[in-house]
Amino acid sequence: MGAVTNYIKDITAAVASTFEGMSITFSHLARRPMTIQYPDKIPVPIQETLPHRYRGILEVDLDICTGCLACERDCPITCITIGIDMNKETKQRYFTHFDIDVCKCMYCGLCSEACPTGAIRHSQEFEGASYNPAGLVRHFAPQAQNLYKPKKGGETEPKLIAKVDIGMKYLDEFATPDGGGAAEKE
Amino acid sequence: MQSYLDQLIQDGAFAGVPREVVYAIAMVLTALVVLSVFVAPLAGVTSWLERRVWARMQSRVGPNRVGPQGILQWLADGIKNIMKEDIIPAAADQKLFPLAPYIVFMGFLCSFVVIPFGGNLIVADLNIGILYLLAVTSLVVVGILMAGWASNNKWSLLGGMRSAAQIVSYEIPAGLSILTVVFLAGTLSMQGIIKAQGWAPWDWFMFHNPFTFCAFFLFFTAALAEGNRTPFDIPEAESELVAGYVTEYSGMRFLFFFFAEWGNLYVIGSVATTLFMGGWQVPPVTDNAVLLGILQFVTFFLKAYFWVFVAMWVRATLPRVRVDQLMALCWKYMVPLSFICMLGTIGFMFMSDQGRRIFGALTLGFAIATIINFFRRVGFQFRQAKPELYLKPHI
C-alpha cells in the first residue's frame, strides 16, 4: 500500500510544484524588468550611477602634479610616460609630455595610491572605444606646463586650494590600500 | 479544396490538362501559400514573442532593437542565417547531412495539411486526420536521428538517439490521450472531432468528464516532449551535449531545425485546441459566411496561441529533466495514467447523459476553481516580492 500512496504523492507533488512555479513566473510579467538599457534609454548618465571607488579610466590634474614620477615608477606595465624638462634661465621645470596609454592600463590603482597629492586618479569614465589604438593614449600635457610646487603652510591661491582638496579627499577616501578613509566614515 | 478543384476541372477552366497535373500544381501552390503566408511569419513571430515572454519572466527586456519593440528580429535572424556559410564537415555523411533538416521540416510542415483553421479553411479534411498527424510528426524523429548520425560526432549521435527514444516513448501517452477524444467523437477526422464539440466550454471534450480533463494535460505534456521543448529538451541539452544533433549545423540548415521547433509549437497548440477545446466553434452570432469564417479563424488562432504561450511559460518555469527522469516520467507515470484516462472515458460512455453532464459540470467547476486559485497564488507571489506594478509590455 505504501508504494501506491508514494506514487500518488509523487504525482500530486509534481502537479503542485509546477502550479506554484508557474504562478511565480507569471507574477514576473507584472514586474518591471531589472535591465538598464545602456546607452540610450537611461534617465541619468551611467557614469553618475557608478560607485565612488569605481576604477575608470585614469585622469590627471596637472595643476597639482608635482612631477615626482612615483606613478611612473609604480606602474607595473609602464603605461604612464612622463617627460620633464627645465628652463635653463628661470630654473623652472616643466612637463614636456604626460601620456597614459589606456590600452595598456589594467586599472590596478597603484599609481593613484602612490601619488602624494592625489593628482592622478581613477575617473568614473569607462567608455574608451576608439577606431585607432593611438587614439586611446591620453595626452594630459598638450603644451608645456609648469610643475606644481607645494607651498609651506598650505596653499594660498583659491583656485588651487579647491584642486588640492579634491586630491587629498581622493587619497583619503579612495586610494588608501585598505580603503580606510571610506570604511572608517561608514 | 479537392471538390473546388473538381468543380473547376468540370467547368473546363484548365482546357484538357490531365487531372493529375492540375492536382499536383494545386498541391505545390497550396504548400507554398501555407508556407510563405502563414507558417514562416508565424514561426518567426513566435520566436520573437518567446524571447520577449521569457525575458519578462526572468526580469529582462528581450530583443527590442529591430523594428518597433524588436518585432522584426526574426527577419534579421533569418537574413543573417541565410547569408552565413553553410558548412558541411568533411567527416560528415555528405548525402544525409544536408538532407536531414528538410526531413525535420517536412515532418512539421506536412501536419498543416490537416489543421482546421476554420469551418472551411482546411487543406484536406482527411478521414484519418489525427492519425495522419501522428504519423507525419513522427517523421521528425527520422530527420533528427539522421542529423545525429550523419554529423559523425558523438554529441550529435547521442542527441539524436535521445530524441528518438524520447519521441517514441511519448507517442504512447499522446496517442492514448488522443484516443479518449476519438472514442467520444467517433471519428478520426479533425473537422469531425470539432463538429462533435460545441462553442461553449461545457461542450468541449476537455470538460466532458474528469478523465478527459486529465488526458488533456497528459497530451499537452507529451506533445511538449515530442516537440523537444524544455523541460524535455535533453536531445539538445547544452550542458551535456553542446547542442545535440544541431552541433555541426550552421547557416540556414541550422535555422531549419529551429524553424520547425517554433512552428511545431503552433501545431501542438492547434491540435490541443482541435481535440479538447472545441476548435473553431463560435456561438451562432452571424449568418454572413465571410464574417463567420474570419470569426472562426480568429477563435481558433487565439485558442491555439494561448497554448503556445503556455509552452513558452512552461519553458521559462521548469528546469530540464535528466534522461532517466524523462523516461521514468513517461513509462512510470504518464503511460499508466493515460491508460486509466482511456478506460475511465470508456466507462463514462456507458453512463447516462444526465449523469455525465453532472461530472462534466464538476470538472468545469474544478477548472474554474483552479484558475481562480492560480491567480490568487500569483497575487500572493507578487505581494511577497513587493515590486512596483509594471504592466506595460516594454520599458
Contact A29 B57 (CB under 8 A): yes
Average pLDDT, chain B: 84
pLDDT at B369 (0 to 100):
93
Contact A26 B313 (CB under 8 A): yes
Question: What chain A residue is nearest to B316 in terms of C-alpha separation?
Answer: A25
Out of A20, A29, A41, closest to residue B56 by CB: A29
pLDDT surpassing 80 at residue A160: yes
Report d(CA B277, CA B216) in Å as an integer: 9
pLDDT surpassing 60 at residue A182: no
Architecture of domain A50-178: 2-Layer Sandwich (3.30)
Confidence grade of residue A178 (pLDDT, cut at 50, 70, 90): low
Report d(CA B307, CA B310) in Å as an integer: 5
Contact B60 A33 (CB under 8 A): yes
Give the SS3 label for residue B186.
Answer: coil
Contact (Cβ atoms closer than 8 angstroms) between residue B71 and residue B45:
yes
Inter-chain CB pairs, A–B, below 8 Å: 73
Contact A24 B374 (CB under 8 A): no
Q: Name the nearest CA neighbour of B19 among B32, B5, B30.
A: B5
What's the whole-number mean pLDDT along residues B212-229? Answer: 88
Q: Name the nearest CA neighbour of B113 among B15, B195, B190, B53.
A: B190
Contact A30 B395 (CB under 8 A): no
Half-sphere exposure of B267 (CA within 13 A, CB side): 26
Out of A10, A30, A34, closest to residue B391 by CB: A30
Q: What is the DSSP string of A75-109?
A: -TT--EEEEEEE-TTT--EEEEEEEEETTT-----
pLDDT at B387 (0 to 100):
76
Contact (Cβ atoms closer than 8 angstroms) between residue B131 and residue B230:
no
Q: What is the DSSP string of B46-93?
A: HHHHHHHHHHHHTT-----SSSGGGTTHHHHHHHHHHHS-----TTS-
Choose from B376, B382, B388 for mutation: most chain A CBs within 10 A: B382
Listed by start position, the domains of chain A span 50-178
Residue A92: what are its φ and ψ, rounded to 5°?
A: -90, 125
Quick one: which H or E segment has residue B293? helix B289-317
Question: What chain B residue is nearest to A11 in terms of C-alpha separation?
Answer: B333
Q: Is A123 left (phi over 0), alpha (psi -120 to 50) or beta?
A: beta
How is residue A95 written as a grid cell? 612637463
Report d(CA B172, CA B222) in Å as an integer: 9
Out of B56, B317, B379, closest to residue A21 by CB: B317
pLDDT at B372 (0 to 100):
93
Contact A18 B385 (CB under 8 A): no
Contact (Cβ atoms closer than 8 angstroms) between residue B57 and residue A28:
yes
pLDDT surpassing 80 at residue B394: no
Contact (Cβ atoms closer than 8 angstroms) between residue B293 and residue B126:
no
- Is the preceding peptide bond at A39 cis, omega within 30 degrees of 0? yes
Identify the DSSP state of A41: B
Question: What chain B residue is nearest to A34 in terms of C-alpha separation?
Answer: B59
**Residue corresponding to grid cell 569605481:** A54
What's the whole-number mean pLDDT along residues B168-191? Answer: 88
Contact B55 A33 (CB under 8 A): yes
Q: Name the nearest CA neighbour of B184 among B153, B157, B209.
A: B209
Please indicate if any CB of chain A lies within 8 Å of the CB of B320.
no
Q: For strands A93-101 and A145-146, give the pairing.
A: antiparallel
Contact (Cβ atoms closer than 8 angstroms) between residue B52 and residue B63:
yes
Contact (Cβ atoms closer than 8 angstroms) between residue B161 and residue B194:
no
Please indicate if any CB of chain A lies within 8 Å of the CB of B59.
yes
The residue count of chain B comes to 395
Confidence grade of residue B368 (pLDDT, cut at 50, 70, 90): very high
% residues pLDDT > 70 (chain B): 97
Q: Name the nearest CA neighbour of B44 among B63, B59, B29, B60.
A: B63
Report d(CA B19, CA B9) in Å as an integer: 8
How is residue B360 written as a grid cell? 462534466
Q: How confident is the model over A107-127, as pLDDT tens digits?
A: 888 888 888 888 888 888 888
Chain A residues inside the 8 Å CB shell of B316: 25
pLDDT at B1 (0 to 100):
63
What's the whole-number mean pLDDT along residues B284-305? Answer: 85
Q: How confident is the model over A37-93, as pLDDT tens digits?
A: 787 777 888 888 888 788 888 888 888 888 888 888 888 998 899 888 888 888 888
Residue B284: what are its φ and ψ, rounded to 5°?
A: -70, 90
Report d(CA A38, CA A52) in Å as an integer: 19
Choose from B330, B381, B388, B392 for mutation: most chain A CBs within 10 A: B381
Confidence grade of residue A183 (pLDDT, cut at 50, 70, 90): very low
pLDDT at B2 (0 to 100):
66
Confidence grade of residue B352 (pLDDT, cut at 50, 70, 90): confident
Q: Name the nearest CA neighbour of B30 among B129, B110, B120.
A: B110
pLDDT at A108 (0 to 100):
87
pLDDT surpassing 80 at residue B390: no
Please indicate if any CB of chain A lies within 8 Å of the CB of B385.
yes
Chain A residues inside the 8 Å CB shell of B377: 19-20, 23
**Residue corresponding to grid cell 612631477:** A67
Out of B56, B61, B318, closest to residue A28 by CB: B56
Contact (Cβ atoms closer than 8 angstroms) between residue B228 and residue B163:
yes
Report d(CA A61, CA A147) in Å as an integer: 11
Contact B317 A34 (CB under 8 A): no
Contact (Cβ atoms closer than 8 angstroms) between residue B280 and residue B117:
yes
Please indicate if any CB of chain A lies within 8 Å of the CB of B331.
no
Question: What chain A residue is nearest to B214 in terms of C-alpha separation?
Answer: A15
What's the whole-number mean pLDDT along residues B336-358? Answer: 87
How is residue B393 written as a grid cell? 509590455
The answer to which of A35-39, B43-47, B355-359 has the lowest mean pLDDT is: A35-39
Chain A contact residues (CB < 8 Å to B)? 10-11, 14, 18-35, 37, 41
- E-strand stretches of B79-230: none
ipTM, two decimals, is: 0.78
Residues 335-364 of B with CB under 8 A from A: 337
Contact A28 B58 (CB under 8 A): yes
